A and B are shown apart, each in its own frame.
Chain A
Amino acid sequence: CSHSETSNSASGSKDTIKIMAPLLSPESPSDKSPSLKALEKYTGKEIKVTWVPDSSYNDKFNIVMASGEMPHAIVIKDKSAGFIKSVKAGAFWELSPYLKDYKNLSQADEKILKNSSVNGEVYGIYRTRDLIRACMIIRTDWLKNVGLDMPETLDDFYEVLKAFKEKDPDGNGKDDTYGMVVPKWMGLGNGSPWDVLQIWFGAPNRYGVENGKLIPDFTTKEYMDALTFFKKLYDEGLINKDFAVMDSAKWNDPVVKGKAGVIVDTGSRASQIQSAMEEADESNKDIIDIVGSLEGPNGKRTFPTSGYSGMITIPKSSVKTEKELKEVLSFLDKMNDKEAQILTNNGVKGRNYELKDGVFTSLEKNNKSLLYEHEGLAQFSMSIPKSEYYIEDQKTKLFQHRKDIITEGEKIAVFNPAESLVSDVYTQKGAQLDNIILDARTQFIIGEIDEKGFDDAVELWKKSGGNELMKDLNKLYQSSK
């Protein structure tokens, strides 16, 4: 049944590249989109994209895998169980031997490549994202009102939270403020405020290494110290009492409405809060500031992301020969050239943006349809070795600080040593195992269980599959070293 395919590959080239990608914008770029046309001209291929709404992307992925009619390149959002199963069944090309032959792809970051791998084997080309996003967001006007400086250590942090509760930072004479807002959070080690603070306290990122062996973070002393600190914050009313149930969509509200003064999350949330506050009152300019990391007992540390968001995989059933694979790879390589990055992220010059004396100005401000011409294309842009498209320079202090924490953070990031390890035990039982610890952490903070209770939860974790998981992970860890 593959006659057409073989004859196609015999004649030497794939003229069309079919891609499946998630769609996050309300509209996908049309076939006539000038950006897409320009991209086709630049890469020398006809590009056919199957757009799938982001919310149902993983379901659709499974259906496509089962149908056997696969595109030449598929964007994978995360290492989902469905993806891992397909990898194990041999659905995708392992790319590590090939990457070195390509101008851009050969410069992929080793660490991120490893993070994105499946037990060290590279099944996709990662899409670069900022490695550092975590920070502490704070209202500087409140800080001034209570007469404190920007916090630098965890002790300062506590002082600030206490002052925000007790010293009437909004000056209305009422005891109606508190320190930090924490929302309900699903999952462990995926960047919740607790996860970030634990790192600052000196705990490892999910797994620590002791005598060359991986141990779970919640068995370390630093982890318990952090937990005790959280409990203190809760007991003294420095964080919201309903943090176990609070809707994370309303996370900014208490800060914007002047009920709380601190959030620990990403730099982009700081910008959101800043613009929301400016919208409410123009005098609120430069009111929000951030700190990348608070110094704890083990020095300055920060919580990194995995450095990528999803990857682009090449299925074996549609790309049958090595020759075809190389063609798809050289297409993907070209997508990382500066010209292609600009086309996918900024669009066409003179249409989507203007460039005067090197200063970039977007022409899409009040014209969303221009933005949609290329916004979706960025879904299969990888930015390897680095992003080279234009970013509108915002001259605010906050924007500058966001850039600073990225440069500063890369040096002090604490990585998860098991990021690339895919354990079958975790695939099968990970969610329940994580929930045991997640629940125990919450229960400990609000005082439903004590340290003994937490230890019991750890025992339960071990019995429910945790021991198996650690054994499996350590085996993978040793062989990946």
Chain B
Amino acid sequence: METVPKKRDAPVLTAGKGISWMAALKRDKWLYLLLIPGLLYFLIFKYLPMWGVLIAFKDYSPYLGFWKSEWVGFDYFKDFFMNPDFFRLLRNTLMLASLDLLFAFPAPLILALLLNEVRKAVYKRCIQTFIYVPHFVSWTIVVSITFVFFTVDTGVINKLIMSLTGEQISFLSDADWFRPMIVMQSIWKETGWGTILFLAALATVDQEQYEAAIMDGAGRFRRMWHITLPAIRSTIIVLLILRIGSFLNLGFEQVYLMTNSLNRSVADIFDTYVYMMGITQGAYSYSTAVGLFKSVVGIILIFGANYIAKKFDQEGLF
């Protein structure tokens, strides 16, 4: 992993001196042709719709349409930052995002390491298949299941707690339980799926190193610490950077479905706010401004994380 060449732009395609880019284009025309569908996809479906963010700077009305709606500059951004809701939303979003990063991000790594220690291949593959399943269950179902298990009086978990302690816990309506519940749900749903990349990385680790370590008398944990983890370090870093980039995207559905009158003070996040303002109240420009703010924060975070990773002599993302 430490053998990455300092100069990565090895002169294979960019060609040496004397060959113009035209000639390069001609030489590899079939390769470039293959590139076109991908480029078109990104242009049409990713870049073209982007100009829509401009409505954050307009007073958009669907009837007047994009061009006829009036320009208002940064008015909506100002409204948003001056809004008393802003700090509550920021706090809730950051809290939830941090908990998510702290607990839900390492979970697949830990699980992958555990799975890696399983000897029997059949057994391992069975477990893998099983733990993928929750990923394909929609949030609506996950929240319903949570409700059935955790509700007071009739929920299984509360019945158990009741028989042990004689008291019940309002998991679903107590504001203090909101964040733990959200993180637990995320872990339950996505951990299995998240192991895929880690397991793929683990598969590439040189087996001879393990054998050598065993010869040296290294136990399981020593091997994990000194061989496995360093070997997949770059994968972990790349995934971490990606995760940080989507730090503020907490998934609207889950939070929206878990919100109720008793936990709203901690449950309102940017995503649910955008939904409420934009979809239910038709404040298209305002909610676009909020969404754009979120995206800008995401970009800053991803560049920041990448920069820091490079500082620590890691590969980084770009």
Contact = CB atoms under 8 A, between A and B. Distances in A.
Interface in A77-102: 80-82, 84-86, 88-91
A430 B261 contact: no
A428 B283 contact: yes
B73 to A, nearest CB: 19
B316 to A, nearest CB: 39
Interface in B209-256: none
A144 interface: no
A229 B280 CA distance: 32
Interface residues of A, number: 38
Chain B interface category by residue count = 20 to 34
A81 B153 contact: no
A108 B206 CA distance: 82
**Interface SS of A by simple majority:** helix
Contacts of A443: 261-262
Interface string A109-129: 000000000000000000000
B261 A82 contact: no
A439 B262 contact: yes
Interface string B60-91: 01111110000000000000000011000000
Nearest to A178: B153
A66 B62 contact: yes
Given A80-B282, A242-B152, A439-B264, A62 B147 contact: no
A427 B152 contact: no
A442 B236 CA distance: 45
Contacts of A446: 173, 262
B207 interface: no
B157 to A, nearest CB: 13
Contacts of B265: 439
Contacts of B260: 184, 244-245, 442
Interface in A379-404: none
Given A81-B281, A242-B173, A244-B173, A68 B261 contact: no
B14 interface: no
B262 A85 contact: no
A246 interface: yes
B163 to A, nearest CB: 15
Interface string A420-444: 0000000111111001001101110
B314 interface: no
B116 interface: no
B151 interface: yes
A313 B65 CA distance: 19
A66 B65 contact: yes
B62 A62 contact: yes
A247 B142 CA distance: 13
B188 to A, nearest CB: 19
Contacts of A88: 61
Nearest to B147: A247
A213 to B, nearest CB: 26
Given A241-B152, A448-B262, A66 B66 contact: yes
A439 B66 CA distance: 37
Contacts of B64: 89
B98 interface: no
Interface in B255-276: 260-262, 264-265, 276
Contact of A66 (B63, B84, B282): B63
Given A66-B66, A245-B262, A430-B281, 18 more contacts: A62-B62, A65-B63, A68-B65, A82-B62, A84-B282, A86-B61, A86-B62, A90-B63, A184-B260, A242-B154, A244-B261, A245-B173, A246-B151, A428-B281, A435-B261, A439-B262, A439-B264, A442-B261
24 contacts: A65-B62, A65-B63, A66-B63, A81-B283, A82-B62, A82-B282, A85-B62, A86-B61, A89-B63, A91-B63, A241-B153, A244-B260, A245-B147, A245-B151, A245-B173, A246-B147, A427-B282, A428-B283, A429-B281, A439-B265, A442-B262, A446-B173, A448-B262, A464-B84
